[in-house]
Chains A and B, each alone.
Chain A
Amino acid sequence: MSAAEAVTRFVRPGATLGMGAQNIGRVPMALTHEIIRQRIGGLTVVGCNLSIGMDQLVAAGLVRRCESGSGNLERFGTTFSWRRAIESGTLEMEDYSHLSMVSRFLAGEMGVPFMPTRSLLGSDLLPGGPGKAVIVDNPWRPGERIVLVPALQPDVAIVHAQRADPLGNVIIEGFATHDPEMIRASQAAIVSCEELVSTDEIRAHPERTTISFLHVDAVVPQRYGAYPTSVYGYYDYDADHLGAYQAAAKAGSPTIDEYLQRWIRDCAAFDQYLQRAAGSDRLAALDRSMAEVMG
């Protein structure tokens, strides 16, 4: 399925959108760009660390609210559009820790209403308001405080993976962050992938399957679909283009609007962006850089 078709079909205005991976690794950029091209707004974006993908959605004016453990690109700085929107009051932010967010996805994928955790206690991440985390007594050890975080089942998850077959069996290599819990918790999941493999190949090595097709609704083959972030085993991140985005995001309007126009809205599809932003020599260099890391 094409990114355009998958996004049209599964991402609705006002949806709760789960975003995969984190920081500068395996961020679902091709699917993010498609949401921006289709201007699907009013979104609640959820994840553990939310980085450049979320920041671009915020810059495009498509996000109403975020629930996450953090927003930043580490060495490349904070998520500037996100920060500006929160500080100016146009974006609601509900803070959790990374473990408490993944615990919410865990409750969601298990089909139970909440999950206990010992994180958050004593901090200003508690107490929450309606629908947020609460402290209860351990029923078996009265007096022992434990936090319950509410289950989270996003309307749709977008994730970029190394490989998938046409049915939706997905192989994630390298660190997996919160993606397995989040995909299985979501009402629908779109997975873009570097390589489309056959179902025969999946069946030949079922132990390699991270997520079965029962949890996945659309597979979008997209080489370099996480660019400019990295994909373990395939390519490194592009520090120059990440830096260019960060500079635009930090500058704000009109620089960031020009970035979105030039690199996203004016591109008919993600392949056109790859050619404009990187080109085949640059992409090959990122491949080699990853090969060196793999040693």
Chain B
Amino acid sequence: MMDTSSAARSTRQELMVIEAARRLRDGDVVFVGTGLPFLATTLAQRTHAPNLAMIIESGVIAPLVRRTPISVSDPKVMHRAVKLGTLREVLGTLLQRGLIDVGMIGGAQIDRFANINSTWIGRPGETRRRLPGSGGGNDMASHCRRLLIITPHERRRFPERCDYITSPGFLDGVGGRERAGLNPQFEVAVVTDLGIMEGDPATCALRITGLMPQVSVEEMFSQTGFRPEVASAVWVVAPPRPDDLRLLREELDPEGVYLKTESAGAVSG
């Protein structure tokens, strides 16, 4: 079944989106942020998860998105939704209320304990770069039981400790969420163009559990600012099916808004 010739033709970025999509299940209620998360969630909805419900923070409930929108307020995001509501309705009565299965988010900085920074790069007193801020990110990380983070894998994006914790992962490690008053039931997976890191249930630290084809653990180490542990069995991400690539290239992102021009420095709020 595997078409290795088309697998060879896919980029790591495409495979990252496809792998993130695979992690969504049919019937999941997914709170989705803008950018690559949109693309991955839409791909899942168009393939193995037709009953997946997308929730978008501007107030859009369960749309059937065709082309990938460029913004949570892009009119395309509303296509065939069941309800166009309010921000409080989705962030409050769905997300905080506990009715969301998965949060799908991008991130500027992600640290060892899966804390996310989208506010400030640099510490107070240093020259600092201001980022867009939390948006709904803090709310997603606070209330989702499963968090999927999709991001290009660059060393500067994975510091030992975030300069600023915008959205809580496991905070300072085991028991961190519970001490802070957050729901301790929390799983996190980071899908990148080099591989997969997931929260280790024993230590709460991100560890390498999967690799993109032709990527070594050493390459992951060299592109990660902290030294992650490596799971005892590391699997290789399966190549894409031709249909996945066709959908991505011809239907979901035909103008290459995300898959050709996605700037490594871009962050989304």
Contact = CB atoms under 8 A, between A and B. Distances in A.
Nearest to A95: B133
Given A87-B130, A135-B181, A230-B75, A102 B136 contact: no
Contacts of A68: 133
A124 B75 contact: no
Given A72-B132, A295-B79, A21 B73 contact: yes
Contacts of A23: 58, 71-73
Interface string B58-92: 11100000000011111110111000111110011
B74 A237 contact: yes
| Interface size band for A | 35 or more
A36 B100 CA distance: 41
A103 B176 CA distance: 25
A123 B268 contact: no
B249 interface: no
Nearest to A177: B87
A23 B57 CA distance: 12
Nearest to B33: A74
B180 interface: yes
B142 A121 contact: yes
Contacts, number: 198
A222 interface: no
A167 to B, nearest CB: 23
A207 to B, nearest CB: 15
A78 B179 CA distance: 34
User: DSSP majority for the B interface?
Assistant: loop
Interface string A110-135: 00000001111111110000000001
A33 interface: no
Interface in B84-138: 84-88, 91-92, 95-96, 119, 128-138
Interface stretch (A10-18, A168-176, A269-277): A168-176
A22 B92 contact: no
A61 interface: no
A25 B58 contact: yes
B132 A232 contact: no
A73 B267 CA distance: 11
Contact of A118 (B35, B96, B179): B96
A72 B164 CA distance: 18
B70 A96 contact: no
Contacts of B136: 69, 97-99
B56 to A, nearest CB: 8
A178 B133 contact: no
A175 B180 contact: no
A173 B75 CA distance: 12
Contact of B165 (A73, A122, A178, A229): A122
Contacts of B95: 99
Contacts of B86: 102, 175-181
B261 to A, nearest CB: 10
Top-9 shortest CB links A-B = A145-B181, A122-B180, A25-B73, A175-B59, A97-B138, A72-B132, A70-B269, A75-B70, A99-B91
Interface of A: 21-26, 48-49, 68-79, 83, 86-87, 93, 95-100, 102-103, 106, 117-125, 135, 144-146, 173-181, 229-230, 232, 236-237, 290, 293, 295
13 contacts: A23-B58, A69-B134, A83-B130, A86-B130, A103-B88, A118-B96, A122-B171, A124-B166, A175-B56, A177-B58, A181-B88, A236-B75, A290-B75
Given A99-B95, A118-B142, A123-B142, 8 more contacts: A71-B132, A95-B133, A97-B134, A100-B138, A102-B86, A175-B73, A175-B86, A229-B73
